[in-house]
Each structure stands twice: as structure tokens, then as C-alpha cells.
Structure 1
Amino acid sequence: MSFSALAQNVQVEGYFTQDSAKLGERVGFVLKARYPENTQVVFPDSTYDFSPLVLLEKKTFISSTSEGTTLDSTIYFVSNFSLEPSIYLSLPVYELSRYDSITYFSTEAELKLKLVLDSIPEQPVFQENNVYQPIEKTFNWLLAGLITAGVIVLLGGLVLLFAKRIKGFFKKNREKLRWLQFERKWRKLTALLAQNPALELADEVVGLWKGYLESITDLPFQEWTSSEISEALNDKEIFKALRAIDMIIYAGKEAKTEEATNYLLEVAKTKYQEKLNQIRHERATR
């Protein structure tokens, strides 16, 4: 079971490389962790939810160890598209133990929104023109008002009639696109894991799977252990599949993962189909 903790074995520091940024500007967020050299620590990857920021790139650096203490650091390059005056970001670092993991969060770092306006002259300058312009006095304002009101009512009716259907259509296509992106990345990572059962690959595969299921079910898969996930989904085979990959992460043992990853992909596909059915049901009942 994962849980958050204040600075104990691992000291975490996070800060932006600048205090303010324009809308959409690329900004660096530095995440550092100091911990005993015999401790195993993992930083968040691209599956982590950085909202309202958008992750552009992750840059890691070689660890350095001195007098029994290791220093790790990573820069996450992000962009802000929120119109809030200030946004705050705190990122976790995971300490891996034999059965569980401990989560340490950095303190919240503030990034202010920098608004840029063109200069405005102090005194407005008007062009002189003393030629009188003829005014059309026969314009029927009443008729124009009635026509405008009729158009507004018609457009409002169309919006009320079709807005929810259009929203459902885009929601369905968004889920299909998200599934295709997940499946493509999943097959690539699991193929690499089958060839080289390394700890970092195994951790990324599990994180990708948990992140996708969390996005379509709104359940805290990232925080749950393998046994909690299996119990929540009422499927003991999920525990066996995750445990096969956990043996690489926590025990450092090589394992044949094809059967486990294929089963996890089928579970994700089933949840994806359930999500599509839910969207269809919502559209049909509106």
C-alpha cells in the first residue's frame, strides 16, 4: 500500500526555474531527491497527471553519491494554458520497498501567469473629418430586432437539441483515440520488457496500465497495490499478472511476462469497451 510521508529517508525538493511565464511558454520544473545510497527511488514519468500543466519533455541526470547519500535530479519541461493568476505544482518521488512503496511529495511551487499587452498611447489621436455623412432614416429597427431575436431563439433551440449529442460524439472519439495511443505504447513497452526484463521497463509498464485504467474509471489505481486492484475488480488473475511484473520491480528477478501483459491488456480493453457502452447509454437516455 502506498502512502505519503514527510521528509524521512528521502528528502524531496521541487521548484520552477522561473517565477512567471506567458501562456503556453516552456518552463522547467526541477525535482531533486536525496536519499541513502542503498535506497531505490523512482521519479514520476509521462503517465503522471501534471494538469493544469502539460508535460513537454522529461530530462534526467546521472545520480551522484557522496558519503553514503545519493542525489538524483530531473527537469520536467511543461507549459501552462490556464488563465489562473497562479498555479501550483507538487510532484512525488517513490521509494520502493520489498512489498510496498512510500510516496514523498515536494513542497508546492508557484508559477505566476505573465500577461503581455501592447502599449497604449496616453492620448488617443482622431482623424479630423468635417464632412457630414448621410443617415439612413428609413431603416426598420423593429423588423431587424424581431429577425435577430428569431435567429437567436432558433440557434438556442438547435444548441439545446444537439449539444449533448455532439458532446457525446466527441467524448466517444476521444476515448477511441486514447485507447489507440495506450495500446500502441503498451505493445511497444511490453515487447521491450519481454526481451529485457529490466526494473525501469517493468515499472513503466505497470505505471502505463494503472494510469490508463485510472483515466477511464476514475478509480485510484496509481495508489492501490496489486492485491487492492485485484479485489476492486474482483479478478484474482489480475493479481497474478501484476505480481509477475512486480517480481522484476521489487525482487529483481527475471520473469516471463508475455502472458501477464497480454492478460492486463485484455482487462484494459474490457474497461475501454465498458466506457464506450456507458457513453452510448448516456447519449440514448438524454
Structure 2
Amino acid sequence: MGRIGILLFLLGLSFSSLAQSVEINGYFTQDSARLGERVGFVLKARYPETTQLVFPDSTFDFSPLVLLEKKTFISQTSQGITVDSAVYYVSNFSLEPSVYLSLPAYELNRYDSVTYFSNEAELKLKLTLDSIPEQPVFQNNNVYQPLEKNFNWLLAALITGGVVVLLGGFALLFAKRIKAIFKRNREKLRWVQFERKFKKLSALLVQSPALELADEVIGLWKGYMESITDLPFQEWTSSEISEALGDQEIFTALRSIDMIIYAGKEANSETSTNYLLEVARTKYQEKLTQIRNERAAR
């Protein structure tokens, strides 16, 4: 009777460990695609609530596929089991009949990490032309075609030369203004793209303060600030950034989000991300003013 009890106990442990295992599943949203076509790859994970799992980001090597965009969703937890999912939009530029993709998920522990891979999903190459006939078939046509008249090369050369002279004069007169307008519009477009993505990631971080999201928010903000100020924000620490900009509130905001990344603690990130967005907006306005002043000085 004692042996039977021990056996049942071991079986219970086995079933418990299986119930607490990490399940990773991946599949394409369609079985075939044309060359360069945008295709979604769905990555799903089912794991215990106590486990911290991170999906790959844009630094992962998706070859021979090319990553276009990553779309994440809010985690769902029920009865101690968490379900996570993300969609990776990719394009295939390989001429192989089929390509395969398997993505990892990283379980973060205190001193190391464990990598789980999804099943290998297949994406077939869809050819635009099903087949090319070996012998081309020509249609009979005995209708006479009119002959083209001789082309007036002298007139064409004169017209082309006149257009080139006009364009050259226009470029000399308005080159600086056109360059300034181009720079200004480029900065406006970059700001709109940054603001839209930063607000989206910040909202997700407020709803689910996860390490990966916090890292994406900080990386996006530092990258934009570095591009608009030519200062090494990516290399600086939070205190160095605060000193360089002369704003102690920036250190507080960055420190709040750093607590999620490095300490794994939840924090009220909404106030911090709002302040960082306003700092970026101020630098953006300063950049536009600088471009306008450079144009006026010339």
C-alpha cells in the first residue's frame, strides 16, 4: 500500500509539472504568398502566471524573411495561466519554393534565462504565372502598319536644353529654401510617427507594465532624442541625460520606468511617459525654430 501511495504521489507531481509547462505555438495567417507580399506570423504562448516570458523583438534574425512590423496584444490570465500573443508582419524575398519560420520565447529567471521555440511553420511561394508555354503562339496579322516619321532630334535637343537651363536657374535661386522646407517637413513627419508609436506603447505599458514594453518605450524615446539633438542618448545613463538637459524631472521619469526594466517592479508609468513626451515635443519645437533661423540667416 505504501508503494502505491508513493507511485500516485509521483504521478501527481508529473501531471502538475506538465500543467505548469510553457507552450509556444506559431503559424502563418496564410499558407502561401507572393514575393514581397506582407504576411502575418502569429506567435502564442501559454504559461504559468508566475513565469516571466518575453517575445523576440526587431533584433531577432528573421532571415530569409524580412520583418516589417510587430503588433503586440495585452496578456490574458485565468486560473493561474497566462496567455500572450503577438503578430509579426514579414515579407518573403526568397525564391525557394517554401520558407520556414520558428520563433523563440525567453523565460527570464533571476540568474539566467530559458529559451522555448515554437513549431516550424511553412510559407509557400506563390508564383504569379502558373506556367510559360514552351512554344509562343503568334496571332496572324496582315494589316499594314504606318511607318513612323523621322524624329526631329534638333528640336528635341533645343527643348531639352531649355528645360535643363530653366531647372538649373530655378535650383540656384530656390535651392536653400527648398532644402529648408524639405528638412522642416521631414522633422514634422518624424515627429508624427514618433508621437503615434510612443503613445501606443505608453498606453500598453500602463495597462501591462512588462519589461519588454518598458524597454521599447525607453529605447524609442532615446532614439528620437538622439536623432533630433545629435547627442548620444543611447549611451548615456538616466542621470547623465538629466544633467545634459538640465532637468531633474527627466531623471525621475526615466528612473520610474527603469524600475520596471531592472527591478521588475510595477510603477505608475503614465506620468513618466507623459513628461518624456513633453520633453521630446520641446526639443522638436526647438529643432523647427533652428531650421527657420538658419533659413532666415541665409
TM-score tier (shorter): 0.5 to 0.7
The 5 Å alignment of 1:181-200 reads: 181-182=196-197, 184-185=199-200, 189=203, 193=206, 199-200=209-210
Residue 158 (structure 2) pairs with residue 143 (structure 1): no
User: Alignment partner of 1:207: what SS?
Assistant: helix
- 8 Å contact from structure 2 (residues 238, 254) kept in 1: no
Distance 1:111 1:140, change over 3 A: same
Other-structure match for 1:267? 279
In 1, distance between residues paired with 2:217 and 2:38?
25
Other-structure match for 1:171? 186
- Once the two structures are TM-superposed, the CA of residue 171 in structure 1 deviates from its matched residue by 0.7
In structure 1, give the amino acid aligned to 2:189.
R
Percent identity at matched positions? 45
User: Alignment partner of 2:142: what SS?
Assistant: coil
- Once the two structures are TM-superposed, the CA of residue 203 in structure 1 deviates from its matched residue by 6.0
- 8 Å contact from structure 1 (residues 94, 101) kept in 2: no
In 2, distance between residues paired with 1:281 and 1:88?
53
In structure 2, give the amino acid aligned to 1:199.
P
Unaligned residue ranges in structure 1 (runs of 5+): 1-9
The CA deviation string for residues 27-48 of structure 1, in whole angstroms up to 9 with x for no partner, is 23244679897541233689x9
Distance 1:176 1:170, change over 3 A: same
- Once the two structures are TM-superposed, the CA of residue 140 in structure 1 deviates from its matched residue by 3.7
- Once the two structures are TM-superposed, the CA of residue 13 in structure 1 deviates from its matched residue by 9.0
Other-structure match for 2:87? 76
- Once the two structures are TM-superposed, the CA of residue 179 in structure 1 deviates from its matched residue by 4.8
Distance 1:205 1:104, change over 3 A: same
In 1, distance between residues paired with 2:114 and 2:32?
28
RMSD value, Cα: 5.7
Distance 1:119 1:210, change over 3 A: same
Other-structure match for 1:3? none
Other-structure match for 1:6? none
Distance 1:125 1:52, change over 3 A: same
The CA deviation string for residues 10-34 of structure 1, in whole angstroms up to 9 with x for no partner, is 9999786778632563423244679
Other-structure match for 2:13? none
For residue 219 of structure 2, the aligned residue among 202, 210, 221 is 210
In structure 2, give the amino acid aligned to 1:128.
N
- Once the two structures are TM-superposed, the CA of residue 74 in structure 1 deviates from its matched residue by 3.3
Question: TM-score with structure 2 length normalisation?
Answer: 0.54
Other-structure match for 1:25? 37
In 2, distance between residues paired with 1:101 and 1:271?
39
User: Alignment partner of 2:237: what SS?
Assistant: helix
In 2, distance between residues paired with 1:101 and 1:205?
20
Residue 54 (structure 2) pairs with residue 42 (structure 1): yes
Instruction: Answer 1 or 2: which has greater helix percent.
Output: 2
Aligned residues: 257
In 2, distance between residues paired with 1:114 and 1:153?
49
Unaligned residue ranges in structure 2 (runs of 5+): 1-21
Distance 1:217 1:37, change over 3 A: same
- 8 Å contact from structure 1 (residues 32, 73) kept in 2: yes
Q: Which structure is larger by alpha-carbon Rg, 1 or 2?
A: 2
- 8 Å contact from structure 1 (residues 13, 31) kept in 2: yes
User: Alignment partner of 1:129: what SS?
Assistant: coil
- 8 Å contact from structure 1 (residues 168, 283) kept in 2: no
User: Alignment partner of 1:199: what SS?
Assistant: coil
In 2, distance between residues paired with 1:83 and 1:285?
48
Other-structure match for 2:252? 240
- 8 Å contact from structure 1 (residues 230, 237) kept in 2: no
- 8 Å contact from structure 2 (residues 241, 251) kept in 1: no
**Greater RCO between the two (CA within 8 Å, min separation 6)?**
1
